[in-house]
Structure 1
């Protein structure tokens, strides 16, 4: 087990499941957005592994994915041991995936700090990312502590969960050039709000978006699962006991689907925060390193464009002509695209499909995928 820069054993766990619906038709079940190169030459999961490099070695990194993506992820991340790329036998959300890694490592390295990282997020300041994560690793190793990262809201957003921050524990100075790191206790977690509630959260000033990045020791998470999800714990203990034996694939296949389909937020974080600030030992650090989850075509337009009215032509194209048109996103490799009198469109062409929607409705692309699935066109899924 490699150690972080302060000598603490650290194992990143990259969550790389998903069904490839948000960026349809570019994404499919067998090529979800984390294995696509949505910016630059590297895929999103390759970017994720690269930014973790200063904190942990590849041999200590784990990936939890599904059987549709396991092969391509192993090909894209050949540095990670094959035995550390685990394909869930059935989709069971983030709680079983996170807890599985905890129970596996608890057997031999219970004090190892686990870092949970989505595979499909964008970070623009890698140096600040490492600085904040190092501080979080240190805090997670100092006791039965759970560390979450929060993003300061920049708009009224109903698509993210929120973290309500309580009292500030301390402000840690950092090397010259970086802002201090404020550490807050977590008062409670709030699920995706309606617009009125989201506006109230943002106005309050002590709410941040939940970035989905968590830090805790293997023992801390395993014990939290035993306390708050007692039906799940023995299932994962059985799977962990079989790891490294010839029976592992069978046991994993037979047992994992018995776990509840639940997020780690619902299963562990919300019940633990219900104990109160002083007893929950949940702390929030700032995700102030240029975070974006690229959750839709609209967010990709925002990320790649210079402003809301910018026309974004993505991919290798032969040109874009736009007259009286603004705020559009177009992906049409090898094509010249002409826009006339249209605003806020999303146009995405692949070899076998063409998507035309608006940026305002791009969060609903999964509804299209569901309709295509129900029609029997599995070749498009």
Structure 2
């Protein structure tokens, strides 16, 4: 029986879904697609694979109380609060080195806390295959999503020769291409979106950190050595901010892929379970419309009541007010107690600029 341990990455600053999301109310603790929050849904779908008692969460101090409340079956000591945001490599590396110490034979799955999975049965089956492959040796498995359009907001995985049962060797990773390159990748047919979901053994990832991040490794090992002691919080707060701010992709997967597809032990497992990372209000509109939640004019309206006249393709969230749409198309309207966002679906990716402007203006109460 393989000892599988999910690692949930739940940091984030709450910018893409402003004004609903804030630094202390980021996307993962919101119920955007149902009654359960995004992180609760993440834990729910992993339950057939590992109990909550084997799950680890990496977040920050602003979100930890809400997360501990929402995930009451995850041991509180397994909710790690980063003292500074340092991207995915330090977070995943810390988890690997820590689990290598306390569960050396375990296989880890790294999962973002804020994705939507439509077919959870297929999700479980795919993760089981990835875990089995990772347990065979020093294999690192990334879940790839078949691209449906030339998306510039995702990283891409170029795949090579098939191993068996649809498992593909990885040739290289490419971060967020421009439109022209994304079109080329889509046409080529052997590129997948990088889902941000990875599976590897604790030993494999820990050794990869030692190989590719030699300056960061002693810092993470110092934190691990303090785990379970009275000095842990002080050491974590002092040492972790010294880690480089870098993603797993840049720090480990890209240099590993440079060894060549037959020597890197990097594999892509194509995932067909209805994935959406809900990266913007426009993406949420697309998801909800795809679930049949739109009206006859393709509007997605989440209000107490609404009046829609000659308007098409809009997204509206206003739980406490009646909203009237007259002769408009492709808008995003989001109302909270202290803010109102009006943009277009086309410009929904730019909502983060509002948060930057608020920060520049010193309006911290709104971020």
**TM-score interval w.r.t. the shorter chain?**
over 0.9
Q: How does 1:111-260 map to 2 (within 5 A)?
A: 111-171=105-165, 182-260=166-244
CA drift of 1:83 comes to 0.3
The equivalent of 1:360 in structure 2 is: 346
CA drift of 1:111 comes to 2.0
Kept in 2: contact 1:211–1:287 (CA 8 A): no
- Structure 1 unmatched runs, 5+: 1-6, 172-181
Kept in 1: contact 2:311–2:328 (CA 8 A): yes
The equivalent of 2:299 in structure 1 is: 311
Kept in 2: contact 1:162–1:210 (CA 8 A): yes
Kept in 2: contact 1:313–1:320 (CA 8 A): yes
In the alignment, structure 1 residue 70 sits paired with structure 2 residue 64: yes
Please give the per-residue CA displacement for 1:22-76, whole angstroms capped at 9, x wherever unaligned: 0000000000000000011100000000000000011110000011101100000
Please give the per-residue CA displacement for 1:285-327, whole angstroms capped at 9, x wherever unaligned: 112101000000000000001489610012xx23222222111
The equivalent of 1:89 in structure 2 is: 83
Please give the per-residue CA displacement for 1:138-184, whole angstroms capped at 9, x wherever unaligned: 0000000000000001111000000001101112xxxxxxxxxx100
In the alignment, structure 1 residue 327 sits paired with structure 2 residue 316: no
The equivalent of 1:45 in structure 2 is: 39
Q: Distance in 1 between matches of 2:15 and 2:167?
A: 36
- Structure 2 counterpart SS, 1:332: strand
Specify which of 13, 19, 22 is matched with residue 16 of structure 2: 22
Please give the per-residue CA displacement for 1:2-28, whole angstroms capped at 9, x wherever unaligned: xxxxx1001000000000000000000
Q: Distance in 1 between matches of 2:128 and 2:350?
A: 37
Kept in 2: contact 1:156–1:199 (CA 8 A): yes
CA-atom RMSD in angstroms: 1.0
Aligned residues: 363
Kept in 2: contact 1:14–1:64 (CA 8 A): yes
The equivalent of 1:371 in structure 2 is: 357
Deviates more, 1:123-132 or 1:108-117: 108-117
- Structure 2 counterpart SS, 1:144: coil
Q: Distance in 2 between matches of 1:294 and 1:287?
A: 17
Please give the per-residue CA displacement for 1:126-148, whole angstroms capped at 9, x wherever unaligned: 10000000000000000000000
Q: Distance in 2 between matches of 1:298 and 1:58?
A: 32
- Structure 1 counterpart SS, 2:142: strand
Q: Distance in 2 between matches of 1:380 and 1:334?
A: 19
Please give the TM-score of this superposition, normalised by the length of structure 1: 0.94
The equivalent of 1:342 in structure 2 is: 328
Q: Distance in 2 between matches of 1:34 and 1:107?
A: 29
Deviates more, 1:318-327 or 1:92-101: 318-327
Q: Distance in 1 between matches of 2:240 and 2:271?
A: 32
In the alignment, structure 1 residue 280 sits paired with structure 2 residue 264: yes
Q: Distance in 1 between matches of 2:104 and 2:203?
A: 5
Kept in 1: contact 2:304–2:318 (CA 8 A): no
In the alignment, structure 1 residue 264 sits paired with structure 2 residue 252: no
Please give the TM-score of this superposition, normalised by the length of structure 2: 0.98
